[in-house]
Structure 1
Amino acid sequence: MIKAVVVDMDGTFLNSKHDYNREWFKEIYQKLSKQNIRFVVASGNQYAQLKSFFPESHENISFIAENGALIFEQNTLIREHHFEIDLVDQIITYLKDTHPDVDMILCGIASSYIEKNTSERFKSIAQTYYHKLQEVDHLQNFCEDKYVKFALSVPVSQTEQIQDSLQTYFGHQIVAVSSGHGSVDIIIPGKHKADGLSFLATKWGISPEDIVAFGDGNNDVEMLQYVGHSYAMENGSSLVKEASKNLAPSNDESGVLQVIEKYL
């Protein structure tokens, strides 16, 4: 019996217009609630942005944000992990010295941060994904927050090369993972979506076998391997499809809602 539904957002629950069929979801969410099936959002994105997609129901939805570093229930942060500040400074220095064409957002618990001299194009993109975003003179030595993730915009053709170079240089101190479309996230080792979901499942007394999860990007792989009912989106990466037991219709076909409705 299904006891929880877990969805990634970009490329999975959200369509290419960065939205979803809200009326259909409302009907499905009501059915989920009546059957005491939990709905969980698991994303690499910021909590403030994620909950904005669910104005009527966010208080009853659990959020695994920033690729598992932060977990929220009922608008309350119930678990957090962050990088040591010295490592944050080392990562910024390395990126500026070796990949000066990479744009970066430093993601904290209270807000996310971007340098003032960043291109207006990237600032515009960043504002779409980060509802709490501050411009600062320099990211280094900026210690007003605890930092949970780096979000990088890289040349698409260099995605794997930059990801590999980061992993090789910093080793076990970080995990560099591509979420597709020229994006690379630097996350805390072991604090991925599956780790966050395992924390919630233990808290709720739910078995992984009773969870259905959906994803499209490489940062969803651990989560899909963890659950009993895993779905790669038709538009997902080859790695995600290899890690999943099932295939869902694409995000532009409301594939997640199609599959959930069949379960219900």
Structure 2
Amino acid sequence: MKTPHLYAVDLDGTLLTDHKTYKHEQLDHVLTLLAEQGSSLAVATGNQMPKIEQYLAGHEHHENLYYIAENGAIIHNRGTDLALWGFTPELVQQCLAALEGFPALGIILSCRHHSFVPSDRLATIAGRVHEQVAKAGIDLPGWDPQDPITAIRPFYPNVEAIDDPSTMTETVVKIALNADPGEGIYETIEKLHAALPAGVAATSSGFGAIDLIIEGNHKGHGLAWLADHLGLAAEQTTAFGDSGNDLEMFSYAGRAIAMEHSDPVLAPVTDLTIGSNNDGAVLNFLEAELTA
């Protein structure tokens, strides 16, 4: 019997191919192998819970499958939120006030069950999402040029436009931004950090996205919380990722494994680089390691 271990795997650009697919039977096999060794898998992603549940539908019976969602804001297992950290309404309003100085950014206010797009930013973010997806050669399911919100719904299933965000009653766990394509992502992040209220951090989430999170509540914090919850030390964790929002998770994990196309910011804390998400490199690696 091998020592129990916790593997944390990013979704976009890591577990998922560019067309948002993965081998379902192979994931089931990996989860079964992990369970036999007393180990667990955590999907650690910036994605919203309703979208993660769509991606991972069919695997709910695995007790050892956990979610670290919204870049660490939610820890979830088998229908139960084990932990949730969110913005206060006052902090949301302070962030929105700061973002008035960034009119080129798309904005999504992500909550546990729903998400909301300020109506005055809807055209901006919808057009940019459609442009980015088209450039990648990916079909946008349900896209209707006459209904901009359909560009966002494939990624945020329960999204709504809202005229006055102060009327929201759900807790915001993340503020997702769609970056200005005319500016470098880290350039934009630097400007955001100078403008945002204290206690809020900006992180790159891949594909031109920037996530605003509660400072300190990143994927690394989520992984550390879950490892402690499972009675594991940092040395008993492995993280897979490819983007800037995986940096803290890589720094915490006992072993950090990057994809071949990863953001260079991960290089100083990467222990090993494997192949491409489009070749199923993560599941192939796990299957080989667990059967060695």
TM bucket, shorter chain: over 0.9
Deviations 1:19-76 (A, max 9, x none): 1122222222222222222111111111111122222223532111111111112211
What does residue 148 of structure 1 align with? 173
Q: How far apart in 1 are the matches of 2:222 and 2:242?
A: 18
What does residue 9 of structure 1 align with? 11
| 1:206 counterpart SS class | coil
Q: Which runs of 5 or more residues in structure 2 are unaligned?
A: 130-148
What does residue 253 of structure 1 align with? 279
Q: How far apart in 2 are the matches of 1:73 and 1:146?
A: 20
Task: Name segments (4+ residues, structure 1) moved above 4 Å.
Answer: none
Q: Structure 1 172/92 Cα, relative in aligned 2: closer, same or farther at 3 Å?
A: closer
Q: How far apart in 1 are the matches of 2:119 and 2:83?
A: 31
Shift in Å at residue 116 of structure 1? 3.8
C-alpha contact 2:94 2:197 (8 A) present in aligned 1: no
TM-score by length of 1: 0.93
Q: How far apart in 1 are the matches of 2:267 and 2:181?
A: 21
Q: How far apart in 1 are the matches of 2:104 and 2:167?
A: 21
Shift in Å at residue 172 of structure 1? 3.6
| 1:198 counterpart SS class | helix
C-alpha contact 1:229 1:245 (8 A) present in aligned 2: yes
- Say which of 109, 112, 135 aligns to 1:109: 112
Shift in Å at residue 2 of structure 1? 5.2
| 1:58 counterpart SS class | coil
- Give the number of aligned pairs: 262
Shift in Å at residue 113 of structure 1? 0.7
Q: How far apart in 2 are the matches of 1:230 and 1:142?
A: 42
C-alpha contact 2:91 2:197 (8 A) present in aligned 1: no
Is 1:165 paired with 2:167? Answer: no
What does residue 85 of structure 1 align with? 89
RMSD over aligned Cα atoms? 1.7
Shift in Å at residue 196 of structure 1? 1.0
Is 1:219 paired with 2:245? Answer: yes
TM-score by length of 2: 0.85
Q: How far apart in 2 are the matches of 1:197 and 1:214?
A: 12
Shift in Å at residue 95 of structure 1? 1.4
Is 1:262 paired with 2:288? Answer: yes
Work out the percentage of aligned pairs sharing the same amino acid.
Answer: 29
Q: Which runs of 5 or more residues in structure 1 are unaligned?
A: none
Shift in Å at residue 171 of structure 1? 5.6
| 1:128 counterpart SS class | coil
- Say which of 217, 227, 235 aligns to 1:201: 227
Structure 2 counterpart of 1:215, which letter? Answer: G
What does residue 100 of structure 1 align with? 103
Q: How far apart in 1 are the matches of 2:38 and 2:151?
A: 37
